Every structure is written in C-alpha cells, then in structure tokens.
Structure 1
Amino acid sequence: MFTPQIVRPATSSDVARAAGVSRATVSLVLNNHENARIPEDTRIRVREAARHLGYVPNNAARALKASANTGWVLDTRQVDPDGVFARAIDLVGGEASDNGEDVFRDVDATTLGTDAASSWARIRPAAVLASAGRCTPEATEFLRSAGVRALLVYGSEQVDYAPTVVLPQREYGRCAIDFLQHARHRRILCVMPAAAEHKKDVAERLGGVRDDAADDTTVTVQYAESSSASLRDWAHSWRYAADPPTAVICYDDRHARATIRALHDAGVRCPQDVAVLGAQDMPFAAEHIPSITSVTFSPDVMAERISDALNSMLSGERIERIDSPPLHIVQRESTQQRTS
C-alpha cells in the first residue's frame, strides 16, 4: 500500500553510486549522448539504476538544486470526458488551482505503468490521481521514489498497492433495476457495449441487475449489444415480439441516445412504448428529446472526497479507500410510471 511520506527525490549522485559509475557518466547516458564512448552494458546499468530509484532529470530542479515536489497530476486518459467522474475531476483540479497549486492533466493514451509514472515524475508533482489501469504497483513504487507524497488510483474495485477511489459498477445495475421494478416494468432489456475494454464493467453492471431481479420471479431480463446494427434489428423486431421489453437499461446516456434513435426509426415511441434509462447524467441528457433519465452520483461530493483525501495524505495521514457517493436517479422524460 502506498504510504504518504516525504521522500527526497533521487539525485544523479544516487544513480552514480547505485550503478558504480561517475556522475559525468550518468549525465552522458541519461542525456542520450550517443557519441560518448560508454559501453552498452554500462548504459543499461545506469538506466536500470535510474528507473529503480525513480530518478528523473529535471532542469528546474537542477537550477534550484533541491526543490520540493509541488503541483498535482490528474490522469484523465481512461475517463469518459462527458461522464460524471470527469466532472468530479474537473472540480478537483479547479479547487487545487484556486488554492495556488499547479495542475497538470494527462490525456496521453500511449503510456502505461512506469512509462506513465516517469512522464508524471518529470514535473515533480506532490499529488497524483491516476487510473488503476495505468498506475500499476511498479508505477506506484516509482512515484514514491520520485517524491510523490499523495497518490490515489481509481477503478471499479480496490487495489492492494495504493489508496483507491472505488467506482463500483455493480451498484449501477442494482440502482437501475430497482427504479424500473418500482415503476412496474417486468420485461427489461440491458443494452451494453461489446468492446473488450468494457467487458469487466459490463459484467459487473449485468451482475447487479440480475442480483436484484432474482428476488422478483415476475421480472425477466435480456441482454443486447449496443452496435448500430443490433439496436436497429432489435428495434424493428419489437412490434413482432410476443412479449417485448417495456424498458431498456443502457450502459450510459450515449447508449441511451442511440437506443432512443433506433426505436424512433422503427416507429416505437419512448417513453410511451418503451422506457429508456441511461447513466452518468451526461451534459446532453437534459436537452435530448425526450430528455434522458439517468443513474448517477454527485460530482461535487466525489470531488470533495478526493480533494480531502489528497490533502490529508499531503499532511502525512494514511488513506486506504474512497467510496463513490450513493447513486441516485435523475428522472426525466425517457421513463414513465406504468399503471399495468
């Protein structure tokens, strides 16, 4: 587990001692002076020592000789820019900036693990918020060695190597099915993406739906992929089904919008014939026709929890887990109360 602590950033002298070479050799190797007559095995040894120690050349640090880590890095590479968690991160960054912190956002889609950590460490941050998919155990140790004093990773479940902002996907499914059951829907379709990067989250969402639906034997739940072709085929077959779904649970508001469009093109009305429920309360949901009912949480509460945790870690406190705020339904026109 990442423990907040004040760590002196590694210096070129540390690297030189670890690699058994001079500081001049370290400088030549790490500044990529290919013409210098340094054996390849020495170059490898120096680079490995630098990686192990978390040493990152920094011109500003050289000029100041020893500057403390400052600023916050917010990793948004794996966050939907229209999603509620993205808005929470925006609020975290805004508050940090208002408090005089330099805030850096990383949207680079090409680096993972220690490569990502190395790019963050170059700016000497005091605090980092990163996706668990990018910030691996090795990256976490790299950041600790580089002087980062506060680190939170976010993901659908808690990890054992760093404090975690937990965004439980199963709860989305439970909240959605509970809302529709109370609205007297008994035949429900789940529209979820088939892409590999969503596989784990989709399984958790469907698990949440089925967990709650299992308590009511009158409820049937079906599943469909959210590709344009599958949505179009399902929407056109709706009228000919013996017992068509009366409600659709969608992965997010973007998928809800596509589902409503497919239904409209097939002459099926939303919400009169089929209720459609999205998630994330994306900016367009309120303006869409019909406006989209959505499962979400408060971005303000989430931002407050994250900011408080990072500031506590910077003060030396130990943090292990930050839970998502309770989910709730923002009810709009795309769902309706059934009377039969």
Structure 2
Amino acid sequence: MSNPPAAATPPTSADVARLAGVSRATVSFVLNDTAGGRVGEQTRQRVRAAAAELGYVPHAAARSLRAGRTGVVLLGGSSAPIGPLFSEFYRELQGALRRRGYTSVLYGPSPGEGDEPARAWAELRPAAVLCLEPVLTPAGVDLLHRSGTRAVFTLGTAPVAGAHALIMDQREVGAAAGAHLLATGRRRLGVVIPADPGLDQFSAPRLAGLRAAAASALAGPVETLPLDFTEASGAAAAARCRDLGLDGVFGYNDEYAMLLLRSLQDLGLDVPARVALVGADDLLLGRLLRPRLSTVHMTLPGGESLATLIDEIIADPTTTPATRNLLTVRLIPRDSS
C-alpha cells in the first residue's frame, strides 16, 4: 500500500511578495486592509492576484498576536434545546458580525461548572463572549476580562455581575398567556412544566408570570402539569387536566401544547369548549392544526443591532455593564382558546 502524499507546505506572505514583486509589509497592508492610501490600486490588485494564485490566507493566530486579541466572538451554546427563535437570532447575529470583520464561533454546550466554562473560552482569546446559558459566574467574567476578552455578554433571564446583561424576561410570556386565558373567562388554569431540566430556566419564570396574572384576577390556584415529550406522558397530563377540572392551560411552548392538544382530544376533551389551550413560539405547524393553536409570539432584536453593540463595546471595553431587555411578546389568539 502506498503512503498518502505529504501535506503541501502552505504558502507564506514571503511567497506572495516574491510573486507580486513587492515587500512583505505591502502584502500585509493589502491583505489585512490596513494599507490606507500607501498602496496604489494596481499594486493591491497584483498582491491579491498573487495570493489567490498561491492559495494564501493570512494567519489568524499571527495577526492576533500582533493585535493582542483575536477577532473571534464566541457564542456560548446551550445544553437545552434551541428553538427557532434563537436559531434565527444566532443566524442573523453571525451574519452581522461577519460583515463587521469578526469570526463568530459557536462553542457549546458549556463545559463543566463554576469557572471552568470561562477558562475554556479564555484559551481561545476571544474579543467578545456571548453566553446563552446562565453558566458564567462573576469570577468567570473577571477571568475573561483579565485574559483579554473586551466584551462579555450574558443572554438569559438574570444578569451576572461584570457582564452586559441581555435579558429575556420569560415571565412576560407566561403573563401574556395567562391574561388571555383569563380574558376568555377561564379560571382553573394549568401550566405545562417540561420534564427536561435544561428548560427550567424558561419554564419557572413562565409559570411565575402566569401565576401573577391569575393572582391579579383573583383566579384559583394555578396547577402544574409535568410533561415529558412522549405520548404516554401527554396522556397522563390530559388525564390530570380532566381530574383537576382545568378549563385553561398554557402549554409552555407550541410543541408541548400540540402534544397536549392531541392527548386531550384522544381523551374526548374538546378544545376549546372544555379546555382552552395556548402555546408559545408561533410555529407554522400550530397554524396547520385543527383547532389552530393560540400562541405567544416572541420577538428578539435583529442581529444587526446586537452586532453593533458588541462592536462598540469591543472598541471601548470601559463601557459600564448595563442590563437591556431584549424580548417583546404578543398574544396571537386562534381557535384553541
């Protein structure tokens, strides 16, 4: 068996300089977009053509050493399921960061506990970190800053000292669902609580928001409906609805609400005559069901605005950390309530 061919030696800036007939400094100026008016357009084109012919790409690590930091924006991933809202948000943000010259890196799920995630991220020397899960501690934020990270953001339900907090107040989601159910005359309310512990950070404040809405309307106690994402668990939750005499349920999100809807129908409980049902996320599939699923529509700001904020704080890391509320919600009533 013949040995595989040895990997070719990657071209260097010196190779580009020789082929283009310029100095290595000129190559660096042109390919790193720092030439200003010092390099004529014909020379620029010659350098870029030589680089393309050789397949040369500037070395990011070397450039980072010169700058003292990378152009990486690290997006800390989540161990919890990422829904369509976050998927679209991350897609837009990555595109906006790329247009500003940054490389976004999705790193996750976050490794370890305590300061371990911050230590793992710090090894990459990112210019900025945006952490989706509440895994960063104040000490971890400090460690990232001391390692050269200029901007640290948390994206979640509560701020962390030292970081810029992008808050998604999940209580508003539950409150919107509860207010709608109460407005339709429902008084014995239930809330689906997913069995997946990774969703606790969202389900607990949504429950609190609905309970606050019920309390303000002097409704009865709000019951919880534990639900694993299985047909058997859906059947058990539907039976609990029947046994408790619930007349309105917030299904946590559209997926869990659709599972419960099918289970209620299998049990002979009419939706919405017997039980009104509301989801969240405004998924297309919820509009295709019969009855069509009422839902809480959630909106996050576009990726451009957040990329601009990240860029501004990287440029001025002395900016005092602030808390910004990102989430807006509105109830979309349909046939299920």
| TM norm structure 2 | 0.70
Q: CA separation in 1, counterparts of 2:64 and 2:162?
A: 33
User: Does residue 141 in structure 1 map to residue 153 in structure 2?
Assistant: no
Q: CA separation in 2, counterparts of 1:237 and 1:155?
A: 31
- Native 8 Å contact 2:187 2:220 kept in 1: yes
- Shift of residue 198 of structure 1? 4.1
- Native 8 Å contact 1:77 1:109 kept in 2: yes
- Shift of residue 103 of structure 1? 1.3
Which residue in the other structure is 1:210 paired with?
211
Cα distance change on mapping 1:103 and 1:322 into 2, 3 Å: same
Which residue in the other structure is 1:312 paired with?
312
Unaligned 5+ runs, structure 2: 1-58
User: Does residue 252 in structure 1 map to residue 253 in structure 2?
Assistant: yes
SS of the aligned residue for 2:162 comes to coil
Deviates more, 1:259-268 or 1:63-72: 63-72
Equivalent pairs counted in the alignment come to 274
Which deviations, in whole Å up to 9, do the C-alpha atoms of 1:227-253 show, x marking residues without a partner?
3545413424666x5x72222112222
- Native 8 Å contact 1:71 1:102 kept in 2: yes
User: Does residue 66 in structure 1 map to residue 71 in structure 2?
Assistant: no
What amino acid maps onto 1:315 in structure 2?
A: A
- Shift of residue 263 of structure 1? 1.1
Higher RCO (C-alpha under 8 Å, 6+ residues apart): 1
What amino acid maps onto 1:281 in structure 2?
A: D
Q: CA separation in 2, counterparts of 1:298 and 1:310?
A: 20
- Shift of residue 292 of structure 1? 2.7
SS of the aligned residue for 1:66 comes to helix
Which residue in the other structure is 2:104 paired with?
103
SS of the aligned residue for 2:136 comes to coil
SS of the aligned residue for 2:180 comes to helix
- Native 8 Å contact 1:84 1:281 kept in 2: no
Aligned CA-pair RMSD: 2.9
Deviates more, 1:277-286 or 1:142-151: 277-286
Rg: which structure is higher?
2
- Native 8 Å contact 2:111 2:120 kept in 1: no
Which deviations, in whole Å up to 9, do the C-alpha atoms of 1:55-105 show, x marking residues without a partner?
xxxx95458752332121111224532242343222211211233321111
- Native 8 Å contact 2:165 2:323 kept in 1: yes
- Shift of residue 328 of structure 1? 1.1
Q: CA separation in 2, counterparts of 1:64 and 1:233?
A: 56
Cα distance change on mapping 1:211 and 1:63 into 2, 3 Å: closer
- Native 8 Å contact 1:84 1:296 kept in 2: no
Q: CA separation in 2, counterparts of 1:101 and 1:182?
A: 47
Unaligned 5+ runs, structure 1: 1-58, 336-340
Which residue in the other structure is 2:277 paired with?
276
Cα distance change on mapping 1:219 and 1:65 into 2, 3 Å: closer
- Native 8 Å contact 1:302 1:324 kept in 2: no
SS of the aligned residue for 2:208 comes to helix
User: Does residue 325 in structure 1 map to residue 327 in structure 2?
Assistant: yes
SS of the aligned residue for 2:120 comes to helix
Q: CA separation in 2, counterparts of 1:237 and 1:117?
A: 43
- Shift of residue 315 of structure 1? 2.6
| TM norm structure 1 | 0.70
What amino acid maps onto 1:177 in structure 2?
A: G
Q: CA separation in 2, counterparts of 1:303 and 1:60?
A: 24
- Shift of residue 130 of structure 1? 0.7
- Native 8 Å contact 2:248 2:276 kept in 1: yes
Q: CA separation in 2, counterparts of 1:238 and 1:65?
A: 61
Identity %: 24
